[in-house]
Structure 1
């Protein structure tokens, strides 16, 4: 029995080490892309690109929290997931408010900058999703981090679609609509993550699964 326990402890320690290395990698990618997208969104007057940059900032905070709780209890991980859900909710409301403001008055964004930076963000987030996918079933902490990364791909694709439509129509409306859609995605995901965190905290959620792959 003791040997079996030692083997399990060694496996869990190895798993936590892999999770930590992966989370540092995706944190660095998202922090770098936030700076790039925020600057580009400001220069291009793009609501969709600014929304995507705030998502990058939110993810940077999310992965930082995930690193903090990676070796802690399920309760800590559920609290972290709940905080992530709150961040997602806040950014969703912020982007939605910006979309409403630009619907009333705003300049047509520069679609060339939108397309170039949106494509770069898509490639960066695809790499992050690949890194996170292996660990998405480990626990609520890693699952919520994976959800954030999956949402990024949808948001990045939306920026590229908006850029193409702005180029084709000469109107700011595609940018406004995509920005609002990104906000709706954030809000929906935030509700899901908060619900999963609540279930884990109350003991109604599924037990933690430790992968042996």
Structure 2
């Protein structure tokens, strides 16, 4: 007889998203470090995706035990944290415009391949809880799945860079990813604002 599936309790949900947050934070450090070493704008911008996913999954874990007001404050802090490396990536892109040297393609391809593996693992881990924990859990699953497409785009860009020897494909893709990251930060901020308004409504401060 097949064993019954594990119930998705709050403890299971929290443990799952914390594992995903840890994976994302660890690879953020790896990818950002490689990107700064080889001078890749797109790879550094992509590392912000891992920081954003770290923030979202931590917010889900916090949401299981914190008040609406506390979750709102945490959400806004995380949105601000996401913007810092995104702005740094934009600055790196503009700094390279005057000297668009191509990054080390081999290191770029290996690191982007690792990013695909990490995001695939996160997608698999989140798949069983995507319908539990509300819209944020579903958003975390979709974000991890969509990040695989971005990682694949970086690999394609790396091949174009190897073929052309130009740093422009890296700069252009990096700026596109920066725009995506800032949009994600705004969405986290808006979600935190919704939590703040909900908290005020529960407190009777909003009619």
Q: Same fold (TM over 0.5)?
A: yes
Of 65, 86, 92, the residue aligned with 1:71 is 65
Q: Corresponding residue for 1:167?
A: 162
Do the aligned partners of residues 90 and 146 (structure 1) sit closer, same or farther apart at CA in structure 2, a change above 3 Å counting?
Answer: farther
Of 79, 84, 87, the residue aligned with 2:78 is 84
Q: Is the 8 A contact 1:78 1:141 kept in 2?
A: no
Partners of 1:136 and 1:161 in 2: how far apart?
A: 33
Q: Is the 8 A contact 1:80 1:141 kept in 2?
A: no
Q: Corresponding residue for 1:192?
A: 187
Of 13, 17, 31, the residue aligned with 2:11 is 17
Q: Corresponding residue for 1:178?
A: 173
Do the aligned partners of residues 160 and 105 (structure 1) sit closer, same or farther apart at CA in structure 2, a change above 3 Å counting?
Answer: same
Q: Corresponding residue for 2:88?
A: 94
Q: Corresponding residue for 1:45?
A: 39
Residue segments in structure 2 that go unaligned for 5+ positions in a row: 1-6, 200-207
Q: Is the 8 A contact 1:62 1:145 kept in 2?
A: yes
Residue segments in structure 1 that go unaligned for 5+ positions in a row: 1-10, 205-213
1:138 aligned counterpart, secondary structure: coil
Quote how far apart the aligned CAs of 1:109 are.
Answer: 0.6
Partners of 2:28 and 2:144 in 1: how far apart?
A: 14
Q: Is the 8 A contact 2:13 2:133 kept in 1?
A: no
Partners of 1:161 and 1:33 in 2: how far apart?
A: 20
Quote how far apart the aligned CAs of 1:189 are.
Answer: 1.7
Do the aligned partners of residues 83 and 63 (structure 1) sit closer, same or farther apart at CA in structure 2, a change above 3 Å counting?
Answer: same
Do the aligned partners of residues 74 and 157 (structure 1) sit closer, same or farther apart at CA in structure 2, a change above 3 Å counting?
Answer: farther
CA RMSD of aligned residues (A): 2.8
| Most deviating of 172-181 and 137-146 | 137-146
Q: Is the 8 A contact 1:81 1:140 kept in 2?
A: no
The TM-score, its normalising length taken from structure 2, stands at: 0.77
The TM-score, its normalising length taken from structure 1, stands at: 0.75
Quote how far apart the aligned CAs of 1:137 are.
Answer: 5.7
Partners of 2:167 and 2:93 in 1: how far apart?
A: 10
